Amino acid sequence: MTDRRSRELQLFHELARVVAEEPFDVGRILERVCGDLRSEFGFTRALVARLNEGDRTVHAVIQQGFDWPGDQWLLLDRFPFLVQALETGRAAFVRDALTERAMPGKIAAQFEVRSIVAIPLTLPQACFGFLVGDRAGAGFELSAPDLDLLTALGRVAAVFVSKADEYTRLERAVEELRRIDAVKRDFISIASHELRTPIAVVHGITSTLHLRGEHLRPDQLVELRATLYEQSSRLTSLVEQLLDLSRLEVGAVHGEAERFRPRERIDTLLTRLVPDRVDDLRVEVDPSLELETDPAALERVVANLIVNALSYGLPPVCVRACLDGGVRLIVEDCGKGVDPEFVPDLFERFSRGATSRRATTGAGLGLAIARSYAQELGGDLAYEPAAPGARFTLTLPSAALVA
């Protein structure tokens, strides 16, 4: 066997070994490939640049023997030797970078580039980038068989990179599926608890009324009626939230914009939603203010915020409109505000603060739904602590304001 042949076998053997040891770590594979090339071809430095074929930019991901400044994406077309490697699918060798205009003269001078080679990491249908090597400040020669060998190595390395990339994508997909599965499990456990408990109470009360209603004292009836009202409201609210969720999920929120006066809508909403708490509410929205947006979605946001403010905060609860530089609807209460450690999870589905979990019922869906509706309206929903209490701000696009 010739020397060259055994060198080639040695290189491929090294590459296979790297991949066997680090099958799915692209970074480690490329580091090792760079290192092997440097020692085999006497390169003092080497880099791997990733190619973004969409906007034809390159970006160094591995560098050995020098420091490429920062994390910048460079235009591929400024580096003709890379373009040549991409177009031919073969290693491109430049004997003298300056005279052959292989790259911008400033870069060639700054990094003292003389001879340089670019090996495309190419698969038949895609190019991931380039392996580039040189000897700082020095020229060298590469023969045609050297370039064949480098081209072949680039192709093999590209296969491994693509497999490792695929594995990373799969790993992410599995992670996402696990997350969805956990959410589904939370959903089943919370929804079944939130459904079963009020249904059991309602069923118990209606059987009592059915079987021995005529024997109950008036004060017992009053109590049963109140519990019935409370538990059926709890059920209604959960069913409404689940319907909201599924509508939002399939994008079936129609979002028909219409002109309306939010003040009227909010007043009507509150008397329907919390008839026994109207005295705890202040609506400071100018009755002449007109908006053009989807009123049903806006009501769903406000309803969720008001119910929360009355359940977790303290009265008075205030609904204000703020028109400086946009349209904002603010719901504020005078309670303790949201537990600071819970704030990052506030808008997550099925999440509830520890204090409220102990003291109140709920599925932890209201704010997730409210934020989704706010986003359907082209706006957003945010929380900030107020002094005292909680402040939720619904921001709408300025186009929603009727001038």
Ligand X SMILES: Nc1ncnc2c1ncn2[C@@H]1O[C@H](COP(=O)(O)OP(=O)(O)O)[C@@H](O)[C@H]1O
Q: Which residues contact ligand X by CB under 6 A?
A: 304, 308-309, 312-313, 333, 335, 337-338, 346, 352-353, 356, 362-368, 390
Distances (CA, A) of 364 to 329, 337, 341, 350, 385: 22, 16, 16, 4, 19
**Residue 400 binds: one of Mg ion, ligand X, none (C-beta under 5 to 8 A by kind):** none
**Residue 338 binds: one of ligand X, Mg ion, none (C-beta under 5 to 8 A by kind):** ligand X
Task: Provide the 3-class DSSP secondary structure of residue 204.
Answer: helix
Closest contact distance (angstroms) between CB of 354 and Mg ion is 15
Residues in the chain: 403
Query: Regarding beta strands 390-396 and 380-385, do their DSSP bridges make them parallel or antiparallel, or are they unpaired?
Result: antiparallel
Closest contact distance (angstroms) between CB of 362 and ligand X is 2
- Of 113 and 309, which has the nearer Cβ to ligand X? 309
**Residue 390 binds: one of ligand X, Mg ion, none (C-beta under 5 to 8 A by kind):** ligand X
My answer on whether omega of the bond before 340 falls inside 30° of 0, hence cis, is: no
Task: Provide the 3-class DSSP secondary structure of residue 67.
Answer: coil
**Residue selected from 366, 368, 371, 400 as contacting Mg ion according to rule CB under 5 A:** 366
Degrees, nearest 5: CA angle 203-204-209: 95
Closest contact distance (angstroms) between CB of 275 and Mg ion is 18
Burial class for 252, CB neighbours closer than 10 Å (0-12, 13-18, 19+): exposed
**Residue 117 binds: one of Mg ion, ligand X, none (C-beta under 5 to 8 A by kind):** none
Closest contact distance (angstroms) between CB of 384 and Mg ion is 18
If binding is defined by CB under 5 A, does position 353 make contact with Mg ion? no
- Of 154 and 353, which has the nearer Cβ to ligand X? 353
**Residue 154 binds: one of Mg ion, ligand X, none (C-beta under 5 to 8 A by kind):** none
Closest contact distance (angstroms) between CB of 350 and ligand X is 9
Closest contact distance (angstroms) between CB of 367 and ligand X is 3
Closest contact distance (angstroms) between CB of 193 and ligand X is 12
**Residue 129 binds: one of ligand X, Mg ion, none (C-beta under 5 to 8 A by kind):** none
Burial class for 236, CB neighbours closer than 10 Å (0-12, 13-18, 19+): exposed
- Of 127 and 309, which has the nearer Cβ to ligand X? 309
If binding is defined by CB under 5 A, does position 364 make contact with Mg ion? no
Side chain identity, residue 162: S
Q: Which helix (H) or strand (E) holds 321?
A: strand 317-322
- Of 122 and 308, which has the nearer Cβ to Mg ion? 308
**Residue 312 binds: one of ligand X, Mg ion, none (C-beta under 5 to 8 A by kind):** ligand X
Q: Which helix (H) or strand (E) holds 269?
A: helix 262-273
Asked if residues 137 and 114 have their Cβ atoms less than 8 Å apart, the reply is yes
- Of 208 and 361, which has the nearer Cβ to ligand X? 361
Measured CA to CA, the distance from residue 308 to residue 269 in angstroms comes to 15
> Strands across the sheet with 390-396, in order?
281-284, 317-322, 327-332, 390-396, 380-385
Number of neighbours of residue 96 by Cβ within 10 angstroms: 14
Closest contact distance (angstroms) between CB of 392 and ligand X is 7
Closest contact distance (angstroms) between CB of 374 and ligand X is 13
**Residue 234 binds: one of Mg ion, ligand X, none (C-beta under 5 to 8 A by kind):** none
Asked if residues 34 and 22 have their Cβ atoms less than 8 Å apart, the reply is no
Closest contact distance (angstroms) between CB of 359 and ligand X is 9
**Residue 363 binds: one of ligand X, Mg ion, none (C-beta under 5 to 8 A by kind):** ligand X
If binding is defined by CB under 5 A, does position 308 make contact with Mg ion? yes
Region from 262-270, 308-316, 322-330, 335-343 binding Mg ion, contact rule CB under 5 A:
308-316
- Pull the structure tokens for residue 102: 């292989």
- Of 304 and 395, which has the nearer Cβ to ligand X? 304
Asked if residues 197 and 361 have their Cβ atoms less than 8 Å apart, the reply is yes
**Residue 356 binds: one of ligand X, Mg ion, none (C-beta under 5 to 8 A by kind):** ligand X
Q: What does the radius of gyration of the chain's CA atoms come to, in whole angstroms?
A: 33
Q: Which residues make up the interface to Mg ion (CB under 5 A)?
A: 308, 366
